[in-house]
Amino acid sequence: MRLTYTSDLWYKNAVIYCLDVETYKDGNGDGVGDFRGLTQQIDYLHSLGITCLWLMPFFPTPNKDDGYDITDFYSIDPRLGTLGDFVEFMRTAKDRGIRVIADLVVNHTSDQHPWFKESRSSKDSPLRDWYVWSDKPEPDDPSQIVFPDKENSIWQLDKKTGQYYLHSFYRHQPDLNVANPEVRDEIARVLGFWMELGLSGFRVDAVPFLIENVGDKLPDPHAFLADLRAFMSRREGGAVLLGEVNMPYKDLVSYFGDGNGDQLTMCFDFIGMQRAWLAFARSEAGPISQTLGDRPKPPKDCQWATFLRNHDELTLDKLTDEERQEVFDAFGPDKDMQIYGRGLRRRLPAMFGGDLRRIKMAYSLLFSMPGTPVIFYGEEIGMGDNLDEEGRMAVRTPMQWSQSGGFSDAPPVRGIPGGSFAPERVNVADQKRDPDSLLRWFQLLIERYRECPELAWGDNTVLETGHPSVFAHRCDADGATVVAVHNLSDIAAEIDLALEGLDGCVLTDLLADETMEVADGTVRLPMSPHGCRWLRAAPRGDMPPEDASIIAH
């Protein structure tokens, strides 16, 4: 594929790295991460191969919800630095060719935001309609309560005015009324402000809540997303909206903009993530194969964002009760590991018991799946979780740079994992010097992924392997083919793959020094326990002479 073509739609084969400035690197020694500290680590991220950073909220906040309760959309939390520090960070990231997107949290604000303070001051306030008020709240539906451990309703009485305000999340996070055109205009100004400072887009928090809250107040609730996308495209053609839409595929596709692709540029594949964990629990490929068959193709120029873990709980809400229990039993049997009755508050390496073969296989699978991979900071070194921290904070612990921690010279803002995942055992400095480390594996995966645009751009086909634990798929684009094979079990297997149209081609394993030939349209592949292969197909005549002489049959 032509690089000039794929680079125009940079996000379709980007490598997105999510981090929290607060827990990444402390630059002034106060125990809290900041933009100065993050800026000093740009070269680390560049050497890893990251092409896009996703920043969790960095705005002023009372910090009751780890920054997702915002009091000013136009500034920087003073603990994290200044606008000047942010601009220097952006300049440095741009210098290394790294794009930056940020969380767009506009479903709600903090109850300390000046907008809400003015809105609740009286029923006649000019900002009253900026939030959702009701004389009598709707009957509570338990399924609508996102945090059942903290809330028992999505409506809160404001004693001063005698009305109730809507809060889809915590009661200290009142929902904005995006049906109000003044609110929509203000949201667009927020996007425009940060784009002027260099952002390439936004990860949109809680998108379905934005649309549901509009309800029948607008002729077409989805027009709000289309308007935001059009606004961004006018300012910067390559800007993206990456949506958090945890819905069944049949309901999710409308968030892309149906066939037009004029709303969200990308959507997270929550269904694929949850089915992957079911596959890991069973050591069976079936759930992944089925999901790829069910997943609709996004509109032209749109893309799926794939992931295995993120900054929230590992939600399993789209699995059946029985399937969810299978994953709980395999990866979080203790109640303290579970959260909200629907998910796990653990990181992947801890769930896999530190088994490096299994961890490497899982991330190889992630990077080979059709879509754009998104990883959470610390995944590249196998960071664990700290279950002593409350709720979802268990996975949002300080980055482990060295055996002493390396995050800060002061006591860190959050507790660091101990035991086999403590910094003296899991850190960047040691893994840089170890050619067999997880960090080096991530560097290899990212390098190979960027060399294989077929994985993100191509037509995907699930292949029959004849073995329940082995998953295989091929991606074809512009006459080029990459085949990926993964063994989800701890037992070796040997499979025969039928590769239509590749008879006589040579397959080069991009993750190892090995080649093999397709004979009679078939290739036999031995798969080690938790083994993985990425195979690029090429006619024998297209191979370098040194490779052609070592073909393994």
C-alpha dist (Å) from residue 204 to 165, 262, 398, 449, 498:
22, 15, 24, 25, 41
C-alpha dist (Å) from residue 178 to 166, 223, 499:
13, 11, 51
C-alpha dist (Å) from residue 422 to 27, 44, 217, 433:
22, 21, 52, 18
Nearest CA-CA partner of 443 in 46, 48, 15: 48
Rg of the Cα atoms in the chain: 24
Q: What DSSP designation does 190 have?
A: H
CB 478 within 8 A of CB 393: no
Phi and psi at 99, nearest 5°, equal -85, 160
Distance CA 281, CA 193 (A): 45
Q: Please, what is the end-to-end C-alpha distance for the chain in angstroms?
A: 29
CB 10 within 8 A of CB 301: no
Q: What DSSP designation does 370 have?
A: S
Q: How many helices (H) and strands (E) does the chain have?
A: 19, 22
Q: How far is CA 338 from the centre of its chain?
A: 20
Structure tokens at 342: 């629907």
Torsion angle of C-alpha atoms 92, 94, 97, 100, degrees rounded to 10: 110
Q: What DSSP designation does 107 have?
A: S
Which candidate in 26, 34, 65, 205 is catalytic?
205
Give the pairing type, strands 372-376 and 303-306: parallel
Place of tokens 């699930």: 462
Residue 205 designated active-site: yes
Nearest CA-CA partner of 485 in 500, 498, 503: 498
In 476-490, which positions are buried (b, 16+ CB within 10 angstroms) versus exposed (e)?
Answer: bbeebbbbbbbbbbe
Distance CA 86, CA 104 (A): 16
Q: Where are the beta strands (DSSP E) in 135-254?
A: 155-158, 163-166, 201-204, 240-243
Which candidate in 244, 269, 284, 476 is catalytic?
244
Residue 494 designated active-site: no
Distance CA 454, CA 1 (A): 8
Distance CA 500, CA 523 (A): 11
Q: Which amino acid is at 67?
A: G
Q: Where are the beta strands (DSSP E) in 210-362?
A: 240-243, 266-268, 303-306, 314-315, 338-339, 343-344
Nearest CA-CA partner of 327 in 382, 387, 280, 386: 280
Structure tokens at 458: 């191509």
Q: Which helix (H) or strand (E) holds 202?
A: strand 201-204
Q: Which residues are catalytic?
A: 205, 244
